[in-house]
Structure 1
Amino acid sequence: MRKVTIVFKISVVIAVLFVVWGVFAPESLAFVTSMIQGFLQTQFGWFYLLSTSIFLILAIYLIFSRYGNIKLGKDNEEPEYNIISWFAMLFSAGMGIGLVFWGVAEPVSHYMNPPIGDGGTDTSASLALQYSIFHWGLHPWGVFTIIALPLAYFKFRKDAPGTISATFYPLIGERVNGPIGKTIDITAVFATIFGVATSLGLGAIQINGGLSHLNNNIPNTISVQFIIIAVVTVLFVTSAISGINRGIQYLSNTNVIIAVLLMLFLLFTGPTNFILNLFTTTLGSYVQNLPEMSLDLSPFNNEGNSWVQGWTIFYWGWWIAWAPFVGMFIARVSRGRTIREFIIGVLAVPTIFSALWMSILGGSGIYLERFMNVNLSQAIEQNGYEVALFSMLSYFPWSTFLSVIAIILIGTFFITSADSATFVLGMQTTNGALNPPNTIKVTWGVIQSAIAAILLWSGGLGALQMASIIAAFPFIFIIIFMAISLTKSLKEEKHESIKEKNIQKRKNKAI
């Protein structure tokens, strides 16, 4: 197999051992991961909150800094992809499948069980959407930015290998090629695997929920979810083999078109004025309360603290676990853009889209629950989060057609997330090759689907959540040092640039 590295070999061996553990001792796997997750959430929740907030602050600082005009590439390079395809790819890879899963389920759940106060009130309705936008807004994209930016900068401007470890060169020099560098890359591989496995598991659960909703003869069981994972694995591996400029780009564009059309249909056939008022009001509340929400652990309120651990810290762990995958993919498609353009695009566009999505789908769910006496929260309690979207769609015109479209959207997001991940895992384990061999992409495609299946087998949605939080913890430290390395290199480049300009000025004066 061409370009096989020690990172690939070690990562595959450990991943296979994890799969074997899950197959032969699922109870043991569930017990151990539950213990680790509980410890990390209760003892290091503050660390997750502080870290993600610092990453976001750094990203915003870089927009306005003197480094904003530096290109992610050579000075004369133009962007590789047009702006529409770029937005579509970074969004589809970033969180599309999660938004479809949680778009109705999360706001409705928060409405009935808010972080503070009683559920089912005007206040809880406002808080429900505010926290939903908070979980899907600037913070996750701030994390993705601080991963993607160093990767793109060192790869395309400094001609470094496209690996996580290569971004550490300003800090540890040639040791990036030794055991330290390999350990960094292996840690990134496992954060990627478990972050993506969480999303693949969510996708399988929701596709199963949608099919069961449409046809009572299709059971909502783990066996059906395994079949869904197997079918989608064949599809996304085929897409990954076709390459980034064909399968991934075309599917990403298709995803966004379908998502926008579904969103607009629900907006204009639903309570349009209510949704727009709710979006505007909630966006203001989100901006106003962003600092407080970012650092709130409710230490004097056990219920509030449990809520933050169950929702916010889960999400922050998930985003951090996703960061090497999303960051590397965003970096790969962002060549030729300036740092300022890159950060504004990565932070602003997905955040606004996520806020609109949550307002339209979640707002419609809250409207039905609050004003139309539709008990969506009871449907969630009885059948799980995966049915929330389909239960809500059943109250709209052409509900069956909309449910079919939603299943197709979940499937295409499933495929784009997974094939992007196989591409990125291939890059990480072939010393940053921009076009990894198909054999390596297929290997990772099968492994990440197997791990998603194992996690579902050992504990369902709870196991998926545990895996993302555990995988994220060691990777937080890697992101911190990546940020330090990037700022160090940017300072050195600006210093050299100013020095060269001064030399040129002196030469001009001498002439």
Structure 2
Amino acid sequence: MKHTFSIGVTLPSLFFIVGICLISAFFPTLTEVLLETVQRFIFVNLNWIYIWVVTIVVIFLLVLMFTRYGNIRLGRNDSKPEYSFFSWISMLFAAGMGIGLMYFSVSEPISHYSDAVFQSTGEINRAKNAQLYTFFHWGIHAWSIYAIVGLSLSYFSYRYRLPLSLRSCLYPILKDKINGRWGNVIDVFALCSTFFGITTTLGFGVVQINSGLKILGFVSENSFIWQIAIVAVLVSISIFSAVSGLDKGVRILSNINISVAIVLLLFILFAGPTVFIIGSFTEGIGNYLSNFFTLTFGTHAYEQDSLPWFYNWTILYWAWWISWSPYVGLFIAKISKGRTIREFIAAVLVLPTAFNFIWMSVFGNSAIWIDKNTAAGALSALAGNPDVLMFRFLDYFPFSGFASLLVILIIIVFFVTSADSGIFVMNGIATRNAKSSPKWQSIGWGALLAVLALMLLNAGGLEALQNITLITALPFSVIMLLFMASLVKALTIDLEYYEREFSVSTVPWSGEFWKDRLKGIVSSGDSATVSDFIAGVVKPAFAELREEFKANNIQAELHEFENPRRIEIVIRYGMVNNFIYGVRVQSRSVSDYVVSEENLPDYAASDNFYPESYFGDAREGYDVRLFTKNELISDVLKHFERFIEIASEDRNAMFISSDANQKMV
């Protein structure tokens, strides 16, 4: 059967995934106890690693965003984003948080509010701490983890033309070794981590959907039979969406879901304690900002009584976000081509964080207010049962049945978007980002997700799988540090490459042809005039230069194109990117007042045409209409000298080596 799988990645991954799931299903108690012991050891003794890694990531991204590196584009300098801003944000948000927002928006604030750790602080401080720590766990720190992986993947894939694979993020360190065993190990890790994370999340999502349907009376009980039916329907939709592609499937569903979620959000806001929600949200933002660094570096080392809470919430969240970052990062990278680094970081960190804060404030603070003023502690009593807590919370609102239906609909669509984007990402990892794969591969990943999730649900092995997912976060946190080291090395070279000035030996214009130049400055150009310039000045210059290159044993080619009119001189290389210098017809708009002004250049129309230079590495070109033939030849040689100088430096090999890029595409 025809396939696009990379055998060195797919077979070890499937062997490990199926093996772990079978062990968890047949020996759930033993597996859970063993893995929980390992997890507990890591959380208690190595929690500082998570704290430092997450802190370094946050600081690194914020620094990167506010420096000149933020101007670098994820792709060629002339790349444009493939998706609208709203679709882009909707997709990354649906993949990044998804079901978790519905599962924890009420249960986490209520859990913190009712936790014995905070009982001695007083009722007001309990409510403030509940919001503060919910913000902390779902805010900038979580999205920074996703952002560093997504940024690394986007940069090395679209800027360096490497495969959209985690192995590519280590190219500055490993060089060609990423094509061998080390690269396969990284991709196997990413594939297994993605599969385990999606499987456990979907398993818990199915339980919550089943509970909601039972409360509303659509099903008779919480049973495995109903869970099979739910998984069968939803995974089928996910497979159909994944096969349809990002444009038709994930994008449309994500846009719909964000819209429906906003409707539900506004309903809770205006039907609930509106003034309290807005006031507590405002105060909560201030509380979060004023405690930002204390929270970031906090290890609770001086607060022994709160350590179990710290391990079970903050450290577990950091491990969970890290374990999910290969999947979410790959998906974010897939949809982020053409964005600048500053735009990427700002959008991925700030916008989803702001939405999370609003969402958690509206639902969480409403729940706390109701628990205190209306429910007489009934919601706090359900803190240990998050599957039904959201629906019991909605019982205190008008149209509770309709609101519960909206919640179920949002969970279902989050379920589908998580599954279909997961299928998309897993197939991309397994095929090393093959451009087109048979549809049966996506169907196979979806079926495997469904079968193993149901098997673990029935056997009670989801907790064991969740533990192994959290354990994998420790080694991947080290890999994330290597990603940052690779980015620093690559970005430094990148910026210098595009800002490299010409050699000091280049000669500026002389005053010999100043009259002709003045005439050119005050005259407008049309398309025919520029075409004549290309034919009368550029082409003879390039032809003469080609012959001189040939005399120096360098084979240069001359290429002419129409629509649009352009001509270029090309020197081909095997191990280095080709040298290209071209001139093309370009136009720019001229303001009406310039066209009508008598004492300004004689522009007869609102479009002014001019000959613009362009280069093989997509650096920004410039107007060459005032160049003579010899000056144009000199300009080409300036760029050729710069090209040779950069190519001769060993550290630039990863940036200008066409051979390395071609082997890995």
TM-score, normalised to structure 2, is: 0.73
| Matching of residue 316 in structure 1 with residue 324 in structure 2 | no
Matches within 5 A, 1:200-219: 200-215=202-217, 218-219=220-221
Choose which of 328, 332, 335 in structure 1 pairs with 2:334: 332
Q: Which moved more, 1:489-498 or 1:172-181?
A: 489-498
Task: Label 1:435 to 1:277 Cα distance change in 2 as closer, same or farther (>3 A).
Answer: farther
2:51 alignment partner in structure 1: 49
Matches within 5 A, 1:285-364: 285-364=287-366
Distance 1:264 1:15 in 2: 41
1:196 alignment partner in structure 2: 198
Q: Is the Cα contact below 8 Å between 1:204 and 1:225 reproduced in 2?
A: yes
1:419 alignment partner in structure 2: 420
Residue 220 of structure 1 deviates from its aligned partner by 2.5
Residue 244 of structure 1 deviates from its aligned partner by 0.7
How large is the RMSD of aligned CA atoms in angstroms? 2.0
Distance 1:421 1:319 in 2: 15
1:273 alignment partner in structure 2: 275
1:166 alignment partner in structure 2: 168
1:92 alignment partner in structure 2: 94
Choose which of 249, 252, 256 in structure 2 pairs with 1:250: 252
2:382 alignment partner in structure 1: 379
Q: Is the Cα contact below 8 Å between 2:24 and 2:465 reproduced in 1?
A: no
Higher helix share goes to which structure?
1
SS of 1:4's equivalent in the other structure is coil
Q: Deviations over 1:231-273 (max 9, x none)?
A: 3221211111111110101000011001101001110111111
TM-score, normalised to structure 1, is: 0.95
Residue 438 of structure 1 deviates from its aligned partner by 2.3
Task: Label 1:453 to 1:163 Cα distance change in 2 as closer, same or farther (>3 A).
Answer: same
Q: Which moved more, 1:149-158 or 1:343-352?
A: 149-158
Task: Label 1:261 to 1:464 Cα distance change in 2 as closer, same or farther (>3 A).
Answer: farther
Residue 171 of structure 1 deviates from its aligned partner by 0.4
Q: Is the Cα contact below 8 Å between 1:317 and 1:469 reproduced in 2?
A: yes
SS of 2:161's equivalent in the other structure is coil
How many residues end up aligned between the 2 structures? Answer: 508
Residue 229 of structure 1 deviates from its aligned partner by 2.5
* Residue identity in the other structure for 1:489: A
Task: Label 1:437 to 1:478 Cα distance change in 2 as closer, same or farther (>3 A).
Answer: farther
* Residue identity in the other structure for 2:259: I
2:496 alignment partner in structure 1: 495
Distance 2:143 2:236 in 1: 30
Q: Is the Cα contact below 8 Å between 1:120 and 1:370 reproduced in 2?
A: no
Q: Which moved more, 1:401-410 or 1:477-486?
A: 477-486
Distance 1:119 1:222 in 2: 42
Residue 279 of structure 1 deviates from its aligned partner by 0.5
* Residue identity in the other structure for 1:388: L
Matches within 5 A, 1:462-477: 462-463=463-464, 465-477=466-478
SS of 1:373's equivalent in the other structure is coil
Distance 2:445 2:122 in 1: 45
1:452 alignment partner in structure 2: 453
Task: Label 1:461 to 1:77 Cα distance change in 2 as closer, same or farther (>3 A).
Answer: same
Distance 1:273 1:505 in 2: 70
Residue 193 of structure 1 deviates from its aligned partner by 1.4
Task: Label 1:118 to 1:451 Cα distance change in 2 as closer, same or farther (>3 A).
Answer: farther
Residue 221 of structure 1 deviates from its aligned partner by 3.9
Distance 2:492 2:443 in 1: 40
Distance 1:250 1:34 in 2: 39
Q: Is the Cα contact below 8 Å between 1:111 and 1:120 reproduced in 2?
A: no
Choose which of 99, 103, 106 in structure 2 pairs with 1:104: 106
Distance 1:125 1:267 in 2: 18
Matches within 5 A, 1:19-34: 19-34=21-36
Residue 459 of structure 1 deviates from its aligned partner by 4.2
1:259 alignment partner in structure 2: 261
Q: Deviations over 1:436-459 (max 9, x none)?
A: 442222222233334433444454
Residue 461 of structure 1 deviates from its aligned partner by 6.7
1:409 alignment partner in structure 2: 410
SS of 1:298's equivalent in the other structure is coil
Distance 1:348 1:122 in 2: 28
Q: Which moved more, 1:354-363 or 1:118-127?
A: 118-127
Distance 1:351 1:436 in 2: 35
Q: Is the Cα contact below 8 Å between 2:194 and 2:324 reproduced in 1?
A: yes
Q: Is the Cα contact below 8 Å between 2:95 and 2:417 reproduced in 1?
A: yes
1:37 alignment partner in structure 2: 39
Q: Is the Cα contact below 8 Å between 1:104 and 1:361 reproduced in 2?
A: yes
Distance 1:218 1:451 in 2: 25
Q: Percent identity?
A: 37
Residue 132 of structure 1 deviates from its aligned partner by 0.6
Q: Which has the higher contact order (CA 8 A, sep 6+)?
A: 1
Q: Point out where structure 1 has 5 or more consecutive residues left out of the alignment.
A: none
Distance 1:233 1:460 in 2: 20
Distance 1:27 1:460 in 2: 8
* Residue identity in the other structure for 1:495: E
Higher strand share goes to which structure?
2
Q: Point out where structure 2 has 5 or more consecutive residues left out of the alignment.
A: 511-630, 632-665
Task: Label 1:223 to 1:290 Cα distance change in 2 as closer, same or farther (>3 A).
Answer: farther
* Residue identity in the other structure for 2:381: Q
* Residue identity in the other structure for 1:379: L
Distance 2:494 2:19 in 1: 44
Task: Label 1:497 to 1:35 Cα distance change in 2 as closer, same or farther (>3 A).
Answer: same
* Residue identity in the other structure for 1:474: P
Q: Which moved more, 1:296-305 or 1:167-176?
A: 296-305
Q: Is the Cα contact below 8 Å between 2:25 and 2:461 reproduced in 1?
A: no
